[in-house]
Structure 1
Amino acid sequence: MSILSALFQRRKNKYSNRTAEKELFDKENIPKKYDSALEKNIKSLENVFHQTVDFKKVPLKIGHQDAYLCYLTTTLSKNDLNSQILEPLRDAYKRDVEVKSIESIRETFFPAVSYEYVDSLSQVIWEMLNGSAILMIDKCKRALALNIGGTEKRSITEPSTQTIVRGPKDSFVEDMQVNMGLVRKRIKNPRLVFEEFVVGNDSNTKLALCYMKEIVNEDILSELRSRIKKIEASALLDTGNIEELITDSSYTFFPLLFNTERPDSTSGNILEGKIAIFLEGTPFVLIAPAVFTDFFQSSEDYYQPYFLTTFIRVIRYVSFMITLTLPSLYVAIVTYHQELIPTTLLINIQSQRESVPFPAVIELLIMEFTFEVLREAGIRMPRVVGQTLSIVGALVIGQAAVEAGLVSNVLVIVVAFSAIASFVSPVFNFSIAARLIRFILILMASIMGLYGILLTLVVMVTHLVGLRSFGVPYLTPVAPFKLKDQKDVFARFPFWTNTTRPSYLRTAAPVKMKNQSQPKPPSPNKGDENNG
């Protein structure tokens, strides 16, 4: 067993024989069936919510029958509660209403309100937690859950982490229903499926899988369902928690699932045959499976001319290699391979480093650590102050370090350029992998020079070849090489040539566009030529 496996091995909990809180909620503390006696149901709810101030129960009279309206003030809108439920029931006690069933009450007082009938107290509690008001009437065998809308939510704004110049400007929010609606707005197809789960033993968070029926690979979908059902976490507050629990490998710097807050990017991936994972409470959606080349592509690539997109993609790949290797190349060449530097440049570099008291590797690590601190401080501080700090702080500290003789001018250029290149990646968490591996390359370059860099890159590529995302090789369609998928990897071919879905997904419908050819101008009319 490897060291990492031993460190992260799951240990048996001494409380493992105890029943989970979710099971207590479903089975033991609450009666399985809804009781027709109103007082018994109210007492059961009071036992569950007796210590929370947001639980409210409003006594009502409908005709000659006693009733209660129960709800949580923190999960619904008070204005909607008053206008849609309490107002219709205001004079219900005066009306000569015969309560035959809960169905007749709904038809009489709430014909236009979204509803659901519940026949167990566990379901009553679940509906209340999801923002419904529960109407319970004495001697009725079922309760009525009225969904009148939730509390205030953040409005749809522009994406904050994946900005583009041309394309849709909306982004996901923390409400899962709104997010699913943004995808449904783009894919008006009955084959678009949203499959709901509940995850988190304590948080009971809603999760949804979104895919195109009759297109998605059923084997990948079944595997994803299986992994989600095995989740036994206490609470899941973001899709980052889901990512760690369902990925094929946790011992890697590289993300094995693609995350996005853009509805257009999510819709495009779903139409390709991939699966989107939505989680209540977060604006970031996961896309599975993901391959290495996905992290060099942006939704804007398909809105710009394909020649420009190809050029930008080349810049992204080059920037990734610059971020990864430029600092380590500086250390290796300055320390071991000075013969590779032109004489004039070598003299300039050595003259600048003459007053520097540290070797190249220590000098570089000091500056790299300083830039990482500035980067993190710029993110965590208030937005306006953070931008000023990251820019001014880098200039001031860099200039002061050079004047103090701690680092050379060339090193500041190397560190700054590699830091700027790391921001070219369209996906933030992918650039983190390059930043982390960069430190390993720097240390190897200080020990073995260019040979250390080459050895580390070989190990990295070997590691990438062995990675899988739900069984799909991470480096596909490059390794294994798939010729038919090369139209949208390093270069983007014209849109009318992209007629098939990625073959590595093994979708049920590999062809997505038929009889599409290059557009041409209309041929001149012979009659018009003769008249001319």
Structure 2
Amino acid sequence: MSILSTLFRRRSNKNSGETSEKELYDKEGIPKQYDFSLEKNIKSIKEIFHSTSDYEEINIKVGNLEGCVCYLGTTLNKLDLNSQVLEPLRSAFQKDEEAYRDMNLLREAYFPAVSYEFAETLHQLIWYMLNGFAVVMVDQHTKALALNIGGTEKRSIVEPSTQTIIRGPKDGFVEDLQTNLGLVRKRIKNPRLVFEEFNVGSDSNTQLVIGYMKGIVNEDILSEVKERINKINASGLLDTGNVEEFITDEPYSFFPLVFNTERPDSISGNILSGKIAIFLDGTPFVLVVPSVFTDFFQSTEDYYQPFFMTSFIRVIRYMSFMITLTFPSLYVAITTFHHELMPTSLLISVQSQREGVPFPAVIEILLMELTFEVLREAGVRMPRAVGQTLSIVGALVIGQAAVEAGLVSNVLVVIVAFSAIASFVSPIYNFSIAARLIRFILIFMAASLGLYGIFLSLIVMVIHLVSLRTFGIPYLTPVAPFKLRDQTDVFIRFPLWADKFRPSYLMSKAPVKMKNTSKPSPPKQQQSEGKKENE
């Protein structure tokens, strides 16, 4: 691991980070100055967009002055362009040009309700066009008017497909950044909710936003997040998974160090607890940092259901994780080396089933595990109409055929199926991937050293988990190091009125999230009246 870290150590780049306008457009050879002459400005813009077919321009008249509306047709809604920009400008040629020598007067007269920005340089003008603005230029004006009239069609808000729940909000993030920010703002109506914008990717210039609660978030963690984002030096970032690889503390760990979700209520809850959310334009998945090991066993539905039921389900999740890790390897170890650990009747049953199997236990279980992984991947990649059918029917048919052909035993099919089903209990998909990978390592260790190999692998895994850090915070906190105050929401969930503090490992500026809360009870007056009636 250390050798790989040395070979692929992340290098800091003084020129990386948020690309400034000057760096971006000087690299492309774009002149910066916005000219007083409309003709020269149009010529410069045409030289920049001469190869693209979606560049469009419409000539207009503002009094006796020449004007032009420039835009990229693929970045805005043309119906809105016509109704909000072109229709008001059709009467502009009838007015005296002296009244609109200032671009701000033109905006007030024709676009009072449209979101706008002023472009005082050609760099700014090009940037606004790339972001879906319609740019209005008028001859003899020293700046252009960029109008944000709305983007193209986008996917409607639907229920998340990867983290479904029974009770709770059903809306999910989409690929539009502003929509995602609005879903969080809808839940947290607080002026201390801050969204800071960055541009990442030297070629894609993708918009990235971090969200946090000012006055609650730890400023040191916030500074570290900003620093890592500013060090991102990539040509393009298309998903938050790309961002995760650049900001994670240990890129060679099987375990995910950054929590991701497409649920707005989950992001809102984490922001309120003092964590930082990372949004990226073009993806519905949002990152949460810092994230610890126990975060991947929690679901937003845990806080919408009774706490007794939630606590029981959480215990099931931790048990399922251990079953996914160790169940197949325990079968290999016991059937190969430790027959004495099985009851005699069970041992006779297992060995009788394996009597006609030509392979040793490790080859037998690897054959079934790989078959199941192939079926799982095929079910994901197949068209949705047949993918689920392929997974279910394929597993039944192949499993039954393998048993009848004498390639595997019946008990092995049960073990592989149960451990595979247990891997789906985790609320976060990429955490279950880690368990699936480590399971193969344990199988090989069990085939080599038996139970000693399994315990040795688990010890190494725990040592690795203890050594991990996520933005300076131990990955296993609040278990190791143990923090008593945080145990109200780890393995079991205490009632909401009893969970009064934010996680102590975040070292929040406002550690108390609920003051003067107590167990709910009937009013004292009703209690006294009830006693009198009983007497």
- Shorter-normalised TM-score: what interval? over 0.9
CA distance in 2, matches of 1:471, 1:21: 33
Aligned counterparts, 1:113-152, within 5 A? 113-152=114-153
* Deviation for aligned residue 1:158: 0.4
1:410 pairs with 2:401? no
Name the residue aligned to 1:160: 161
Aligned counterparts, 1:427-442, within 5 A? 427-442=428-443
Is the contact made by 1:22 and 1:202 (CA closer than 8 Å) also made in structure 2? no
* Deviation for aligned residue 1:439: 0.3
* Deviation for aligned residue 1:37: 1.1
One-letter code aligned to 1:212: M
Name the residue aligned to 2:8: 8
Is the contact made by 1:21 and 1:202 (CA closer than 8 Å) also made in structure 2? no
1:211-247 per-residue CA deviation (whole Å, 9 max, x = no partner) reads 0000000000000000101111000000000000001
Name the residue aligned to 1:83: 83
CA pair 205-530 structure 1, distance change in 2 beyond 3 A: closer
What is the aligned length?
Answer: 528
* Deviation for aligned residue 1:33: 2.6
1:361 pairs with 2:349? no
5+ residue gaps in structure 1?
none
Corresponding residue SS for 1:88: helix
CA pair 277-47 structure 1, distance change in 2 beyond 3 A: same
Is the contact made by 2:21 and 2:123 (CA closer than 8 Å) also made in structure 1? no
4+ residue runs over 4 A deviation? 9-13, 19-22, 525-532
One-letter code aligned to 1:261: E
* Deviation for aligned residue 1:91: 3.1
1:451-503 per-residue CA deviation (whole Å, 9 max, x = no partner) reads 00000000000000000100000000000000010010001011100000000
Name the residue aligned to 2:346: 345
1:100 pairs with 2:75? no
5+ residue gaps in structure 2?
none
1:280-320 per-residue CA deviation (whole Å, 9 max, x = no partner) reads 00000000000000000000000000000000000000000
Corresponding residue SS for 2:70: strand
TM-score if structure 2 supplies the norm length?
0.96
CA distance in 1, matches of 2:154, 2:68: 28
One-letter code aligned to 1:317: Y
One-letter code aligned to 2:89: L
Name the residue aligned to 1:446: 447
Name the residue aligned to 1:179: 180
CA distance in 2, matches of 1:391, 1:89: 61
* Deviation for aligned residue 1:41: 1.0
CA pair 368-88 structure 1, distance change in 2 beyond 3 A: same
* Deviation for aligned residue 1:175: 0.5
Corresponding residue SS for 2:94: coil
Name the residue aligned to 1:499: 500
CA pair 28-79 structure 1, distance change in 2 beyond 3 A: closer
RMSD: 1.9
Corresponding residue SS for 1:252: coil
1:312-349 per-residue CA deviation (whole Å, 9 max, x = no partner) reads 00000000000000000000000000111111111111
Aligned counterparts, 1:363-512, within 5 A? 363-512=364-513
Corresponding residue SS for 1:486: helix
CA distance in 2, matches of 1:138, 1:447: 81
With 183-192 and 4-13 compared, the bigger mean Cα shift is at 4-13
Corresponding residue SS for 1:87: helix
Name the residue aligned to 1:261: 262
Give the fraction of aligned pairs with identical amino acids, expressed as a percent: 72
Is the contact made by 1:20 and 1:201 (CA closer than 8 Å) also made in structure 2? no
CA pair 85-218 structure 1, distance change in 2 beyond 3 A: same
One-letter code aligned to 2:66: D
* Deviation for aligned residue 1:10: 6.5
* Deviation for aligned residue 1:379: 0.5
CA distance in 2, matches of 1:185, 1:404: 59
TM-score if structure 1 supplies the norm length?
0.96
Aligned counterparts, 1:46-65, within 5 A? 46-65=46-65
CA distance in 2, matches of 1:526, 1:456: 62
